[in-house]
């Protein structure tokens, strides 16, 4: 049995909270150029990961810790599913970092801020991809681009040093809203119809895809989305086309009986619509449907944990 790493006296330059698909893909690449701590949900999970886990077809070993034993780190990247954000952010705050960066989907910055008072927090966007299979193997599924908010230049430097395409953008808000639009349009429909992203571009799904984009656009535009309506449609179609063979993450979550990220995506859109005095009835219907479908498939473990889909 491998023994847990002894927390070093000097903080780790970087830690990743979330030993899942994206967290371990990032950690694998980052570990080639520097020390990275990986924080798993529990000591038991950390112990299991110390035996090694296959990432991209190769058995990898990480400096992995349970959340209760998390070491100090200069910078922390949060890569848990959105329903676990607050717990992960509390762990991050205890690591005494210079800053906490989320690269999750949905909008979670308010949750991070609430859990990390006085710390520099921010949410960026990544189009890196990865998935976990039924045997707990991680498959990186395509390199993308990672955009970070101002204040996280040091993290961008570490990412670039490890071979990522990454940069800080002056205004991250429109970038996050464009990603939210994509996820609010594609993910719930893929989960409901159980189709690949590409299939959403054809009948009978296309009409609903376009209805979700048309409803979300004025809300997101009122909050700072920089795309005009035609470009917003084109953006979502382009992502569906570029990821045509993919099963969207919400579909994967439903099929695996895991909680979905519907509240951090469509649920956040509701708050934004309310604030702007706008209606999003199709999104409300889709939200109810995803909740119902996901609830019915929730695994016993997640049901016991009291997590909501």
Ligand X SMILES: CC(C)(CO)C(=O)C(=O)O
Ligand Y SMILES: NC(=O)C1=CN([C@@H]2O[C@H](COP(=O)(O)OP(=O)(O)OC[C@H]3O[C@@H](n4cnc5c(N)ncnc54)[C@H](OP(=O)(O)O)[C@@H]3O)[C@@H](O)[C@H]2O)C=CC1
Is 81 tagged catalytic?
A: no
Q: Which of ligand Y, ligand X, none does 82 bind, CB closer than 5 to 8 A by kind?
A: ligand Y
Q: For residues 276 and 222, is the Cβ–Cβ distance under 8 A?
A: yes
Q: Is 97 in the site for ligand Y (CB under 6 A)?
A: no
The residues, ordered by sequence, that sit 6+ positions from 237 with a Cβ below 8 Å of its Cβ are: 201
Q: Is 50 in the site for ligand Y (CB under 6 A)?
A: no
CA dist list (Å): 62 to 49, 114, 126, 164, 238: 8, 30, 22, 19, 36
Residue 146 or 246 having the CB closest to ligand X: 246
List residues binding ligand X (CB under 6 A). 105, 182-183, 186-187, 197, 239, 243, 246, 248-249
Look up tokens 């205004």; give the residue: 171
Q: Which listed residue (41, 179, 291, 302) is catalytic? A: 179
Q: Residue 177: name the closest of 139, 222, 225, 143 by CA.
A: 225
Q: How far is the CB of 267 from ligand X (least distance, A)?
A: 15
Q: Which of ligand X, ligand Y, none does 87 bind, CB closer than 5 to 8 A by kind?
A: ligand Y
| Interacting residues with ligand Y between 165 and 224 (CB under 6 A) | none
CA dist list (Å): 86 to 48, 91, 191, 210: 24, 9, 25, 33
Q: Which of ligand Y, ligand X, none does 101 bind, CB closer than 5 to 8 A by kind?
A: none
| Interacting residues with ligand Y between 111 and 130 (CB under 6 A) | 126, 129-130
Q: How far is the CB of 41 from ligand Y (least distance, A)?
A: 4
Q: Which of ligand X, ligand Y, none does 148 bind, CB closer than 5 to 8 A by kind?
A: none
Applying CB under 6 A, which of residues 23, 99, 124, 188 lies at the interface with ligand Y? 23
Q: How far is the CB of 217 from ligand Y (least distance, A)?
A: 22
Q: How far is the CB of 129 from ligand X (least distance, A)?
A: 7
Q: How far is the CB of 263 from ligand X (least distance, A)?
A: 14
Please give the Cα distance from 182 to 180 (Å, whole number).
5
Q: For residues 35 and 97, is the Cβ–Cβ distance under 8 A?
A: no
Stretch in the footprint of ligand Y (CB under 6 A) among 12-20, 27-35, 269-277, 281-289 = 12-20
Catalytic residues: 179
Binding region for ligand Y (CB under 6 A): 17-23, 39-41, 45, 67, 79-82, 84, 87-88, 91, 104-105, 126, 129-132, 249, 261
């Amino acid at each position: 049995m491998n023994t847990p790493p002894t927390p070093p006296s000097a903080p780790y330059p970087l830690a990743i909270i979330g030993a899942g698909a994206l967290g371990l893909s990032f950690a694998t690449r980052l570990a080639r150029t520097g020390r990275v701590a990986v924080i798993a949900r529990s000591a038991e999970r950390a112990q299991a990961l110390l035996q090694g886990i296959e990432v991209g077809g190769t058995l990898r070993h990480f400096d992995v810790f349970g959340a209760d034993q998390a070491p100090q780190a200069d910078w922390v990247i949060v890569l848990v599913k959105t329903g676990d954000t607050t717990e992960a952010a509390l762990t991050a705050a205890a690591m005494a970092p210079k800053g906490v960066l989320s690269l999750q989907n949905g909008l979670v910055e308010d949750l991070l801020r609430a859990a990390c008072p006085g710390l520099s927090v921010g949410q960026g966007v990544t189009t890196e991809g990865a998935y976990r299979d039924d045997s707990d193997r991680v498959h990186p599924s395509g390199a993308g681009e990672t955009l970070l908010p101002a204040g996280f230049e040091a993290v961008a430097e570490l990412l670039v040093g490890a071979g990522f395409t990454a940069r800080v953008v002056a205004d991250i808000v429109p970038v996050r809203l464009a990603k939210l639009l994509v996820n609010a349009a594609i993910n719930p429909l893929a989960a409901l119809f159980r189709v690949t992203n590409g299939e959403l571009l054809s009948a009978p799904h296309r009409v609903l895809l376009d209805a979700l984009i048309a409803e979300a656009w004025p809300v997101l535009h009122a909050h700072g989305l920089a795309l005009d309506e035609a470009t917003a449609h084109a953006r979502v179609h382009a992502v569906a086309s570029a990821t045509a063979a993919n099963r969207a993450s919400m579909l994967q979550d439903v099929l695996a009986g895991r909680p979905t990220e519907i509240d951090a995506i469509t649920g956040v859109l509701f708050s934004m619509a309310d604030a702007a005095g706008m209606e999003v009835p199709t999104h409300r219907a889709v939200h109810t449907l995803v909740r119902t479908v996901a609830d019915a498939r929730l695994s016993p473990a997640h049901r016991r944990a009291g997590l909501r889909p």
